[in-house]
Structure 1
Amino acid sequence: MEKLVVLGGGESGIGAAILGKDKGFQVFLSDFSKIKPKFKAKLNSEEIEFEEDGHTLSRLEAVDIIVKSPGISDDLPLIQNLRKSGIKIISEIEFASWYTDANLIGITGSNGKTTVTNMVFHILKNAGLSVSMAGNVGFSFAEQVARKKVHNYVLELSSFQLDGIDSFQPHIAILTSITPDHLDRYHNNFQEYIESKFRITLNQTEDDYLIYNKDDEVITGWLKKNSVQAKLVPFTMATIIKDLSAFIKDNKINIKLNQNLFTMSVTDLAVKGDHNTRNAMAASTAARLLKIRKQTIRDSMESFHGVEHRLEQLGKINKVAFINDSKATNVNATFYALDSMNAPTVWIVGGVDKGNAYEDLLSLVNEKVKAIVCLGIDNQKIYEVFSNCVDTIIETHNMADAVSKAYELTEENDAVLLSPACASFDLFENYEDRGRQFKNAVQSLKK
């Protein structure tokens, strides 16, 4: 019996362990930290052996294959030593792909990937297809392959997940954007991060498609220097009329696939803003490549109202609007958020800095932000960059305090925006936990 070790006892690790057991591996799961009770209960019910609070090296070294959770860095001496000893180390995404013949739609990008993933899933579900959503959003891909067989998987893929692929091959890949992110994991080398994102097309053939943002100079720059086997399908806010493309003409989305043209008015989209128009173009293009009916796509885009924690409108208290953008874990995402603000804004920002260049936000902060509320352990960089253009910058150490202080700084017709531009792991479990705490704090203000 082949031995499989799963490193990391989170969502993806538990899923990989369950799939491994189903496929006849002798599975052992090891986590350096504590495993959450809900995941421990799952491991016990599946009778999967595990350890927590540290790794037993002899157990890790005596295996055929290791599935590593995306949160574990490749730079750790443990991982490097295991690799040197010849053990194959892959991601849960790669492992799950070995055991499904389903159609795979893979979506990555620094920003927009969650929205596009949800849009594609929404369209395919409305079209009556057998479909599930997994990867970096929703439930583990591996567990779904083990427990919930469908004909189509829509997968949100982070750079960390793509780092661990070997033969993974999506039929349709979507690349929404590439801006500096996670540079702390990529040795402060933007090029390494770019290469990581383009791994999504690594194993594609001429029968597959790469839908990409033609307005993103980083993406187009890479494509000029590197060859791709997949058929290239650009989307752009400009007007280009060529086969296999999506573009804007006369305020309409146009998707041209050879002789077939799909059009939809931008004003009919339920979600607004240029970034959402791009997202809708990318998702609708994927749907057209899958031969989804035009009217189904239009109806789906008219009924799609966005993703939780992404510019989520929470209503008003005494004419002050509250917006939850906890999903903004990098500067570029926060750029979109600030750019969309039409009222004087109290901005809640901060968390785990991933090598952020806050200077890119200066002009927008100058124009839109009346006060800054820092929410993080170390806010030095925020003070240094913005103290010259914002008079009021205050520090807080929990969400309830941040929200009440932000509200105190508002007047009628102002807005409070949570758009952290940072990861959440210093004070929160993840961005969802941060967003939920924000929503609960806003609800408490209403009482």
Structure 2
Amino acid sequence: MRLVVLGGGESGVGTAILGKKKGYDVFVSDFGKIKNNYKEVLALNKLEWEEEQHTEELILNADVVMKSPGIPDKSPIVKLLKKKGIPVISEIEFAYRFMDYKTIGITGSNGKTTTTMLTHYLIKQGGLNMGLAGNIGKSFAWQVAENKHEGYVLELSSFQLDGIETYSPNIAVITNLSPDHLDRYEYNYELYIEAKFRITMNQTKDDYLIYDADDEEINKWLKKNKTKAKTIPFSLSGKVKEGIYVKDNTIISTINKEEFTMPINELSLEGKHNVKNAMAATAVAQLMRIRKDTIRESLSNFQGVEHRLEKVLKIQNVQYINDSKATNTNATFFALDSMTTPTVWIVGGVDKGNDYDELMSLVREKVKAIICLGVDNHKIMNAFSNVVDVMVETTNMTEAVRIAQSLAEKGDTVLLSPACASFDLFENYEERGKQFKAAVQNL
């Protein structure tokens, strides 16, 4: 059996290692450059690879192809493979076929990383040996090859879900839906929503789907479509029968006739969106039979996720916050919504089809100055030039932070919350966040 892996990054190299271990003839092909650390791993495992090209005769003889999530379906090599009827799947689908452990799959437009990490933390504190993978950390396939865990908590992007056929999580979570990555879905929001709901398409009556009952699009989909899984809603706004809701500033969860309560002010994470993330993680922990005391303790001491509303430093009474992980307007909405002081907002990057109107009232209310950090800022400039008096453009993070410092007064906040992808100026959102933190530390 010949396995061709498209993309020599984290998921590609992990899949190649697992494929080789399972007896496949493996070939890795990357249209770009493969990073040196991954080349070393490929060499160490005696795996064949090529970079900066896709050699058709070495690819079109595959029995199965694993496509890395960053490669769009419309790329010429993927079109050729599909024309020839060669199955093109995601790393999640490939690795899933070689394991018989429980998986918890978490998706959503925002909050999925925090929810995934918080869920994993609760389960780990509860003494279960589950791995953390998917869109986060060491690749799922690589970990399945190493075989050190008795289950996985997976953060799943729509791209990863596009490439599944049989994958089915025992517990699925959909945190929320808002337009994202529309450039990959023909600018059709419906197609993106369908991709997210693939998480439940293979679930059975023994599985669970945990979802945000306040989310209009999720409710719409569930009315029109059926899932076989048992549904567990969570809501900030109304009482739900079997599920989780908030009353008198307390989270109340009733799952499988077990009740769990926790005052919101004892959560370590701040903000309404984080109450929802905590509810989703609590539901999973209860289904996994983690002790109530452990859940409560873990929710009150979880440290949060790097690059997600991360407090960096307070300098001359100005708070600097790194929210580089906000790569769409919905994530930035949460960030601006949680600001309690006048805010200097650093925004911009690669626009994925953003509608800035939804931020308008928050920007009016909270933002005193905007610093556009991107190659092409005209859309942001046009959207907010009548709302904010001070707007500055730059393509350099150090300069952006210096300008922010000069505009901020005592008691203000400087917020990096880009609402865009990072690829115009940075390798990824992590690098963007690290540069921001370094620039703040050098002030």
TM-score range normalised by the length of the shorter chain:
over 0.9
Q: Counterparts of 1:43-442 in structure 2 under 5 Å?
A: 43-243=42-242, 245-442=243-440
> Counterpart of 1:60 in structure 2: which amino acid?
I
SS, match of residue 372 in structure 1: strand
SS, match of residue 339 in structure 2: coil
Cα 1:409–1:18 shift into 2, 3 Å: same
> Which ranges in structure 1 are unaligned for 5 or more consecutive residues?
none
CA distance in 1, matches of 2:17, 2:424: 30
Q: Tell me if the contact between 2:116 and 2:155 (Cα under 8 Å) persists in the aligned partners.
A: yes
CA distance in 2, matches of 1:408, 1:38: 40
CA distance in 2, matches of 1:193, 1:170: 20
CA distance in 1, matches of 2:265, 2:303: 14
> Counterpart of 1:79 in structure 2: which amino acid?
V
Cα offset, 1:409, TM superposition: 1.1
Q: Tell me if the contact between 2:54 and 2:77 (Cα under 8 Å) persists in the aligned partners.
A: no
Deviations 1:71-118 (A, max 9, x none): 000112321121110101000011010111111000000001000000
> Counterpart of 2:365 in structure 1: which amino acid?
E
> Counterpart of 1:64 in structure 2: which amino acid?
D
Cα offset, 1:371, TM superposition: 0.8
Identity of aligned residues (%): 59
Cα offset, 1:399, TM superposition: 1.0
CA distance in 2, matches of 1:57, 1:6: 13
CA distance in 2, matches of 1:239, 1:251: 13
> Counterpart of 1:400 in structure 2: which amino acid?
T
> Counterpart of 1:292 in structure 2: which amino acid?
I
> Which ranges in structure 2 are unaligned for 5 or more consecutive residues?
none
Q: Tell me if the contact between 2:313 and 2:440 (Cα under 8 Å) persists in the aligned partners.
A: no
Deviations 1:259-284 (A, max 9, x none): 22111111110111111111100000
> Counterpart of 2:264 in structure 1: which amino acid?
V
> Counterpart of 2:124 in structure 1: which amino acid?
K
> Counterpart of 1:405 in structure 2: which amino acid?
I
CA distance in 2, matches of 1:418, 1:387: 19
Superposition RMSD in Å: 0.8
Structure 1 consecutive aligned stretches of length 4 or more whose deviation exceeds 4 Å: none
CA distance in 1, matches of 2:432, 2:257: 47
Cα offset, 1:359, TM superposition: 1.2
> Counterpart of 2:281 in structure 1: which amino acid?
A
Cα offset, 1:437, TM superposition: 0.8
SS, match of residue 440 in structure 1: helix
CA distance in 2, matches of 1:361, 1:131: 38
CA distance in 2, matches of 1:34, 1:239: 51
How many aligned positions are there?
Answer: 443
CA distance in 1, matches of 2:93, 2:192: 19
> Counterpart of 1:114 in structure 2: which amino acid?
T
Cα offset, 1:258, TM superposition: 3.4
CA distance in 2, matches of 1:384, 1:113: 31
> Counterpart of 1:390 in structure 2: which amino acid?
V
> Counterpart of 1:260 in structure 2: which amino acid?
E
CA distance in 2, matches of 1:296, 1:223: 32
Equivalent residue number for residue 16 of structure 2: 17
TM-score of the superposition, structure 1-length normalised? 0.98
TM-score of the superposition, structure 2-length normalised? 0.99
